[in-house]
Homo-oligomer: A and B are copies of this chain.
């Protein structure tokens, strides 16, 4: 009675209870069975539904927290809530991963800055094409703050980060924006060691040039302005790294 076309007996790899629970909840979230922001059942209830113990449920939930899919809070109104997942969370996670790999020496700042250039130059070009008023307002406000600030303002690096990430958003490509934010943030430490007054002023001027090009929609000009700005800044920060 052996069917020649019969499927070969292929035992399915046994899966641990903890993994099954994690997979089922993850799938339920991804398929929208739990809406974003919705509260999952309490741990004891989940344990009962799955027929496992509470520690097992907790381990599964912990993995989902690490993955950024849910968040937990204690207290009577607490519980596990489905996170609103955006490219921002990807950016956050990416930044953390890159930081650890940097610290472990499996990556150097030169590689980071090269990629940064590949991303930010096209971003400026796209931003000039797709810009919207809200982004222009934000960029103008940032540049204004940079002009007003003094050399000792500890917020200088955050202005720079805001300028570049806003251009990322203005490009209209959410993935590009997330990558730029993450990569920019990871190059930060090397960058704001000792910003001299001269460097600060030139940076602001370059930012203004980029902003003008984006405002007037001149894509090529914006691209070139960003390229020379990055050439200036990155060469400068690499110089610092090398001279340590």
Contacts and interface: CB of A to CB of B under 8 A. Distances in A.
A107 B66 CA distance: 21
Contacts of A68: 97
Contacts of A89: 97, 101
A185 to B, nearest CB: 14
Interface residues of A, number: 39
B106 A87 contact: yes
Interface of A: 30, 36, 55, 58-59, 62-63, 66-69, 85-87, 89-90, 93-94, 96-98, 100-101, 103-104, 106-107, 111-112, 114-115, 118-119, 122, 173-176, 179
- Say whether chain A's binding surface is mostly helix, strand, loop, or mixed: helix
Given A66-B66, A118-B118, A86 B106 contact: yes
Q: How many copies does the complex hold?
A: 2
Given A30-B100, A115-B173, 18 more contacts: A30-B103, A30-B104, A55-B55, A59-B62, A62-B66, A63-B66, A85-B101, A85-B106, A86-B101, A93-B93, A93-B97, A107-B175, A111-B176, A112-B175, A114-B173, A115-B175, A115-B179, A118-B118
